[in-house]
Amino acid sequence: MVDHDTGADAPPAKPSSPSWSRWVRWTTAVGVLLAIVLVAALTTAVVGVRRSWPQTGGELAISGLEAEVRVGRDDHGIPQIYADSTHDLMLAQGFVHAQDRFYEMDVRRHATAGRLSELFGDAGLETDLVVRTLGWRDVAEKELGLLKPATRSALDAYAEGVNAYLEGRSSSEMSLEYTLLGITGLDYQPEKWSAVDSVAWLKAMAWDLRGNLEEEIGRAVATATVGATRAEDLYPAYPYDERPPVVQQGGVADGVFDQDASGAGAGSLARPPVGGAGAVRALAKVHDVLAGVPALLGRGDGLGSNAWVVDGDHTESGAPILANDPHLGISLPGVWTQVGLHCRTLSPECPYDVAGFSFSGVPGVVIGHNREIAWGFTNLGPDVTDLYVERVTGDEWEYDGQQLPLTRRTERIQVRDGEDVELTVRSTSHGPLLSDLARFADEDGIELTEDGLLDQVDAVADGRQDESAGDVAISLAWTALTPRPTADALLALDRAGDWTSFRKALSAFAVPGQNVVYADTEGHIGYQATGLVPIRRPGNDGRLPAAGWSKDTAWTGEFVPYDALPNVLDPDSGIIATANQAVIDPDRYPPHLTADWDQGYRSERIAQLLAADDELSVEAMSAIQLDDRSAIGEALTPYLLDVDLPRGYYSDGQRLLRSWNYQQDPDSAAAAYFNVVWRELLARTFSDELPKVIQADGGHRWFSVVETLLRRGRSPWWDDVRTDDKIERRSDILREAMVAARDELTALESPSAEEWTWGALHELELRSSTLGESGIGIVERLFNRGGWEVGGGGSLVDATAWDAREGYDVVTAPSMRMVVPMDDLDAARWINLTGASGHAFHPHYTDQTDLWARGETLPWVFSEQAVRRAAEDTLLLTPEG
């Protein structure tokens, strides 16, 4: 490994783990014993547990308010806030968010500022190193100056509300977690909240939804491992003819997207060079470093969403209905918190009457509806990141035949119970050098050996790469590192009242790029793509890391104009469905958005279900969200039924498949058997040739890869290269997978096939990301909840994804579900993955999870009269003094 100079006197201690799940480490055996004793005592003391629970009834005077604010909560603790001014409305939202979830908010702001080590010691160091290198907090501070005055005022008012909650409270009065951290010796009182704390959360959101960075690394490693041709098998192109994109009409005319234009494509783009053996080694190490950054929204192939909207011609009521369920990482508490924000009298000074899902720590509503429009999000996934292989010598880098100085800045990271760490961040014009962090990484997860991967690199390395010219480094170009006023878009969206104001609001939404579906009370439906998408030179299509020394691969500095992004109002079909599939056929749309779309299995199924019913209702839309038909099950099962197995024990699972309807409900024995076969098949087909960083996780891309291979029974992928005396074919691998699956289910569930269930394998475990991963059982039991047996699966409409490399437990899931009928907003339905509260043992900690797991939803009332009727508790916030 190249030991780049970071400016520190000595290398810092290596973090104890690259994982978000291992921040918290007790430092001594005495500390562990003390924690166990005191926690045991605390769990028996109701007053200790309830100390931080919020006041939800009566009156409460808080500083900063101009007039009285009413906060009504329903029987699930969901707040609806009524105020006379925008200032008071946002202040009250900040106060209520802090009441319910301040610890979560505080951990998030430490994460986005690269300050986790201050709370959790060196276990947070790797995350801090990456976040400081990327400069999330610095970018957020610059973005404050770009925001409109009204947005900045709302952020400041929200911060006032959070600080009104903090005023006069000890940390132990804010959450049980602070009490336990205090037992371990942390002397801590939270700082005041600021507007930049809210804006910085948008950087984390952009990072988790950043596009194809993993695919860039994966292609490079795959190419070095098995060659360019076979690597293409693993990254199939999107099948436009089989699975229609979101927008099926229109094109760009005179720089503006016109839904009635014919459009014309720009042709294919050349691929950039990969670099030499050192480049591939550095890329794999960068992959390992980035894996240590906490995925606050989730990570992996299961990260995605469903959203669709239909016009009145397709509904029972004759009015549009909109549905949305974002698929994000699972956590406790969940990513979203529900809220209603209502100005008692609408006016330019107080224009909000909106309800939906928000992020704790951020004012406003992110997804939801107001009295005139509704909207939902899925990740567009544009390619907004590029990795560059750089030639670095000392503190200079090569560009266009010249040696240029690297820019440098120094960061100092405070580490609890340890010495400060000094980090020097070096950057080229493309972006910061991520490879400088490789020396901090835990290398155990990188399987790069001289007699394996690296021996194969030279065959595909670029001829111009001369590693003797200097060290190989990897830099990152990312649109989110350029300050943009995305926060303006969120609050403007809450105020929008028609298609024109909706599109204007989204024009400021820079990162992460999103698909946004739309409906209004006038009967219109629509779609708008958002995001800052770089325009690349012809020598760089973003599919592979590019040669940083060549000016032909650099970004042009221009971005796809917002008005040129795909959008459509009232399409002829009357249906708009987006599930992360391709947005538009490149034959009709010149700008390059990405080559790494979701393969479209979910979107195809959703489109089929929507087209089959022209009298859709709220109930029917909710049922579609729960659809668990497996596309890969339908494709693979006929081949499994043709396998010749011994009768009896080993054919029991095959017998189940003969009557399987491809549905993956939690009680299905056939689904249990199929998914174990699927996991065994992936491991036996690919693990012999692919390094760990690109092993098959079983998501949508692997659906497509295997579906294609099934038609090629003698593909070299079927051969296990570890067996010297045999060349395996498709039938051999299928048989081995089925036999192994039978034995696995016998061990995991029962010798009787009739007793197998998919839910027993596919469980939802909700874990607190800090103390819930402490490694101390009694502490973990305080904060974690689990054991929900659920159906669905990865790349199904009911997208409870699991990672085939790890096991069958849910890793990403629908983080919420909502359905909004535009003729009766009081008839809308919603559900959250967890509850409104972030306080362990609070009645609303996981009270929505049972309903979510059963596929049920809650009433989502909106009108003031209905909200008053639904209120179980009412808190009056009054001006102090």
Binding residues for Ca(2+): 216, 383, 386
Cα torsion at 329, 332, 335, 341 (round to 10°)? 160
Q: How many CA atoms lie within 13 A of 230 on its CB side?
A: 15
Closest residue by Cα to residue 281 from 438, 109, 462: 438
- By three-state DSSP, how is residue 234 classified? helix
Structure tokens at 182: 């205090």
- Whether residue 333 has a cis bond before it, omega within 30° of 0: yes
- List, as one string, the DSSP characters of 469-520: GSEEEEEEEEGGGS---HHHHHHHHHH--SHHHHHHHHTT--SS-EEEEEEE
The alpha carbons of the chain give a radius of gyration, in whole angstroms, of 27
Structure tokens at 222: 């795959």
- By three-state DSSP, how is residue 337 classified? strand
- Are 431 and 406 in contact by the 8 Å Cβ rule? The answer is no
Rounded CA gap, 757 and 752, in Å?
A: 11
What phi, psi does 652 have (nearest 5°)?
A: -60, -45
Sequence length of the chain is 881
Q: Is 305 in the active site?
A: yes
Structure tokens at 92: 């009250």
Residues annotated in the binding site, as ranges? 216, 383, 386
Region of 273 please: left (phi>0), alpha (psi -120 to 50) or beta: beta
What phi, psi does 134 have (nearest 5°)?
A: -75, -25
Beta bridge partners of 718: none
Closest residue by Cα to residue 579 from 327, 874, 287: 327
- By three-state DSSP, how is residue 203 classified? helix
The helix (H) or strand (E) run that includes residue 423 is strand 421-427
The distance of Cα 321 from the centroid of its chain, to the nearest Å, equals: 25
Largest CA distance in the chain: 86
E strand spans, 164-259: 251-253, 256-258
Rounded CA gap, 123 and 578, in Å?
A: 39
Catalytic residue among 85, 305, 427, 815: 305
- Are 364 and 158 in contact by the 8 Å Cβ rule? The answer is no
Taking residue 22's Cβ as centre, other Cβ atoms within 10 Å add up to 18
Between the CA of residue 578 and those of 116, 307, 393, 531, what are the distances in Å? Answer: 36, 5, 47, 16
Rounded CA gap, 278 and 467, in Å?
A: 7
Closest residue by Cα to residue 296 from 110, 142, 154: 110
Residue 723: exposed, middle, or buried by beta-carbon count in 10 A (0-12, 13-18, 19+)?
exposed
The distance of Cα 649 from the centroid of its chain, to the nearest Å, equals: 41
Taking residue 617's Cβ as centre, other Cβ atoms within 10 Å add up to 16
Rounded CA gap, 178 and 155, in Å?
A: 26
The distance of Cα 116 from the centroid of its chain, to the nearest Å, equals: 20
Closest residue by Cα to residue 533 from 553, 507, 517, 513: 513
Q: How many CA atoms lie within 13 A of 244 on its CB side?
A: 12
Beta bridge partners of 707: none
DSSP state of 663: B
- Are 94 and 162 in contact by the 8 Å Cβ rule? The answer is yes
Residue that the structure tokens 């003797």 belong to: 468
- Are 631 and 678 in contact by the 8 Å Cβ rule? The answer is no
Helices (H), 584-729: 601-611, 618-625, 631-641, 652-658, 669-686, 700-709
Tell me the catalytic residues: 305
